[in-house]
Amino acid sequence: MTKLSVNINKIATLRNSRGGNNPDVIKTAIDIERFGADGITVHPRPDERHIRYADVYALKKVISTELNIEGNPKEQKFIDLVLAVKPAQVTLVPDAINQITSNHGWDTIKHGDYLKETIQLFKAHGIRTSIFVDPDIDKINGAKKTLTNRIELYTENYAKHYSTNKEQAIKAYIDAAKQASLLEIEINAGHDLSLENLNYFYKNIPNLSEVSIGHALVCDALYYGLENTVQLYKRCLK
């Protein structure tokens, strides 16, 4: 079964835009689990413009499914947070400090030694590791050498070209997933997956463990309601 982890960064962005605690990020995460999600994802950034570090500590106390923390491990504050919270999974993303959103995966060849060292640190504390990668065979092979548990395929390019040529858009992802499976690396995926393109991706990617979806799901919830939207995304994974 492919799990759905809901990224709640946009919920925090809405809260932060007015101050106070509306919407309540912690209550929303609990409700999202109750509505059927298999996990909660957060991506705290150094400026805390959406998820705050305090939110992550609070979430750890109440999450009953899996907590996935994304971020750039080159920030010591991020490493300290992950080691303190001990989520089920940490996803390493090569974001710049002021980057609006993730836009590329790791160069697992150039940064291989650094990733291996960092991954071993997290694994020593019992935290499953995943690294953000583009659907490139060389980068998948490089990921194997880092000893990561999983990779997360960066799916923006798939989503961008899905409506014009979905067969071509997904080809590199099929090849990357097959290579990852051959190397016994588990596969996650995320970025711009939506109700429009998720089911096709799910049906064509072998051994897909988890998808992480935030922006599109929150946007859909404005029209369909949060509970119904979580269920609609879950149906795409069947």
Q: List active site positions.
A: 43, 70, 191
How large is the greatest C-alpha to C-alpha distance in the chain, in angstroms?
49
Measured between alpha carbons, how far is residue 211 from residues 68, 87, 89, 142, 227 in Å?
Answer: 11, 17, 13, 22, 18
Q: Are 230 and 4 in contact (CB under 8 A)?
A: yes
Measured between alpha carbons, how far is residue 214 from residues 8, 109, 131, 183, 218 in Å?
Answer: 6, 29, 18, 29, 6
Q: What angle do CA 89, 93, 99 make, to 5 degrees?
A: 135
Could you tell me what percentage of the chain is helix, strand and coil, using 3-state DSSP and rounding each to the nearest 5?
Answer: 45, 15, 35
Gap between the Cα atoms of 152 and 167, Å rounded:
20
Strands (E), 24-122: 39-42, 66-71, 89-92
- Tell me which residue of 38, 37, 13, 34 sits closest to 25, measured CA to CA: 13
Token code pair at residue 63 = 């999450």
- Per the DSSP assignment, residues forming a β-bridge with 187 are 151, 208
